[in-house]
Structure 1
Amino acid sequence: MQKTQELEKRRKLHDRMEIMVNENCKIAIPSDILEKLLQPHKLSHYCFIFLDQGSETYKIDLKDITIGDSQMVFGLPNQIFTNALKDNHSLNYKAAFDENTLGLLPNSFPFLLDPLNLNMITFTPDAKERVKSVFSTLFQLLHTTGKPNKIEIILAYLNTLLTEFNNAYFEQSNQKNPPNTKLSKYIAFKLTVEAHLTEQHDVHIIAEKLAMTTGSLYGVVKKFSGVSPKEWITNRLILEAQRKLQYSTLSVKELAYELGFNDPDYFSRLFKKNTGTSISAYLSSHHD
């Protein structure tokens, strides 16, 4: 399993920011990097692939996601991501940047938390043309020879691009942007859990932090995820276990302790209950 931090340093297209943009594969990726990126790897950055024409299938956290014309797939830091094989008939735009670059932008973008668990966006015809235009401008800015472009200009276009992504993400599911109160509470719940993922979370304490009753929190989480808060937390921990098993050599006991479980046997039973397979069987079929 490859981690992408070192790879991205070699692919960086701006000397003062971690940002990369490609248009219809005009910029060739070195063969050794391409070989690794076509294998499952843990993302160290935000990754976006917008498809103008064609069809491509990506895998994110063990889930296949197929996109077609006017659609985009995106990966988030720490997700296990597998790129699609090159399709000579596809026309696409790709972008990637790190947390530090995101922190330079003036706006916040709730879609980057993927609250609806989609990892993809479908654009209307008008939005598609705007997105293509901004992508092309960013590509030109980053690949213009001679005097480097000002960071402020690059960030302005990146902010516009992410604003388009954010609007389309919620509009495709008939959600308001910014999100309505219930969705905002669900996002806050996710953030609270993610902030201290390996702690044994108490749903009552989380509800108090969010100024909600446990019943209200249950209703919100159930509405957007289909499971209870406790089940959501358990599922998230099992997903983190699956990610770690993809690229680490931790023992079952070490993995259990790292994820906050004091009883490795209980963790093993929970893993099998949620995934339908034992940890040893999972390793045999997925470990690279």
Structure 2
Amino acid sequence: MTDPIKTYEMPEGDARTDFQIYEVQGKTIKNRTYPHETDRPHRHKYYEICVFINGAGKHEIDFASHNIHSRSVHFLSPGQVHLISRENDYHGYLMVFSRDFYALDSFQEDFLYRLPYFNNPTLIPILNLNEGDFTELLELISAIRKEYTSGKEMAEEVLRCYLQIFLVKCKQFYIHYFAEKKKTMDPHFALVQQFNALVEQQFRKIHLVQDYADMMSLSPAVLNKYVKKITGFTAGEIILDRLILQAKRYLIYTDLSNKEIAYQLSYEDPSYFSRIFRKKTGLTPSGFRKAENEKYQL
């Protein structure tokens, strides 16, 4: 089977490869340094921020379809499968960066796991902003683009600082816009974010709520209470949903067998894994792989 989902490394730019910004107009990315076609689902090994000035098209992120609205920002974490379908009047920016670029000299890589829109499958990684807030971000992007093309000494350090400001500003907007719906002002929201970050880092090997509760010095009952309060799901459901999402990714962008996928996710019994997958999705792992591959056959 030909791998239908490609994985891309950081684009190779003119000067630096660990942080890049592109202006995009129309249906396709015409910048010669951007290395891949974007008309099929794919994933990256880097972080990507999509800034949409004009709402035109759809964006599929991990099997969910989202309309692209004007004045919106979409956030993509490494490993997420996505596809942007742009229309002719599309206008926006792409900003991409590696973990190494962000964490270099700052020792703040963990901060990326505390942002509500990155590395967090329980929250939608999209901000639809009003004109004033969006203008603030565009002003930051203008400063980033100016520094990016300046060729000045210490430009990387300045860009890293601008990126930090941009991410924190987006966090501020996210918390404000979703304060009621996502309970971001609840005093236990940060605790649940900590749980989500642990799940993102450990889900392949650790499946039990008890183990996560131990890492957080909580009882399983208390952890479940707060997770349910903030997300509407139990801690066990969040762990299982993350496992199923990873299984879907393996199924559509690798040739791993069901048995091998079960092994990758620390299930000793492949048949048990298959039963769980079917119960959650309505399809067997093989059935899901076939259905997804048929969607994008040329």
Q: TM-score, normalized by length of structure 2?
A: 0.85
| Pick aligned residue for 1:150 from 128, 132, 155 | 155
Shift of 1:134: 1.1
Q: 1:147 to 1:209 in 2, by over 3 A?
A: closer
Percent identity (aligned) = 23
- Residue type of the partner of 1:165? C
The answer for the alignment partner of 1:166 in structure 2 is 171
Alignment check: 8 A CA contact 1:122 1:169 kept: no
Find the aligned partners of 2:159 and 2:72 in 1 and give their Cα distance.
Answer: 23
How far 1:233 moved relative to its partner? Answer: 1.0
Q: Which residue of 2 aligns with 1:76?
A: 77
Q: 1:105 to 1:59 in 2, by over 3 A?
A: farther
CA distance in 1, matches of 2:31, 2:282: 38
Deviates more, 1:39-48 or 1:18-27: 18-27
1:53 corresponds to:
54
Any unmatched runs of 5+ in structure 2? none
Q: 1:200-239 maps to which residues of 2 (within 5 A)? A: 200-239=206-245
Determine the structure 2 residue equivalent to 1:270: 276
Q: Name the CA distance, whole Å, in 2 between partners of 1:248 and 1:115.
A: 21
SS in structure 2 of the partner of residue 262 of structure 1:
coil
Q: Alpha carbon RMSD of aligned pairs, Å?
A: 2.6
What is the Cα deviation at residue 30 of structure 1? 4.0
1:11-90 to 2 correspondence within 5 Å?
12=13, 14-15=15-16, 18-25=18-25, 28-30=30-32, 33-35=35-37, 37-85=38-86, 87-90=87-90
Measure the CA separation in 1 of the matches of 2:152 and 2:214: 54
Check conservation: 1:171, 1:177, Cα contact below 8 A.
no
What per-residue deviation string (whole Å, max 9, x for no partner) do you get for residues 133-185 of structure 1? 111221232234x6566222222222221122111111111169996531111
Contact 2:54 2:71 in 1 (8 A): yes
Instruction: For 2:45, give the aligned amino acid.
Output: S
Which of 259, 267, 290 aligns to 1:261? It is: 267
Give the direction of change, closer, same or farther, for the CA distance of 1:113–1:188 in structure 2 (3 Å limit): same
What is the correspondence of 1:85-104 to structure 2 with a 5 Å cutoff? 85=86, 87-104=87-104
Q: For 2:215 and 2:122, how far apart are their aligned partners in 1? A: 22
| Contact kept? 2:178, 2:184, Cα under 8 Å | no
Distance 1:32 1:97 in 2: 13
| Structure 1 residues 3 and 131: CA distance shift in structure 2, 3 A | same
* Structure 1 residue 226: Cα displacement: 2.2
Q: How far off is 1:88 after superposition? A: 2.5
CA distance in 2, matches of 1:38, 1:105: 36
Change (3 A) 1:25 1:101: farther
Normalising by structure 1, report the TM-score: 0.87
Deviates more, 1:232-241 or 1:216-225: 216-225
Choose which of 238, 244, 254 in structure 1 pairs with 2:250. 244
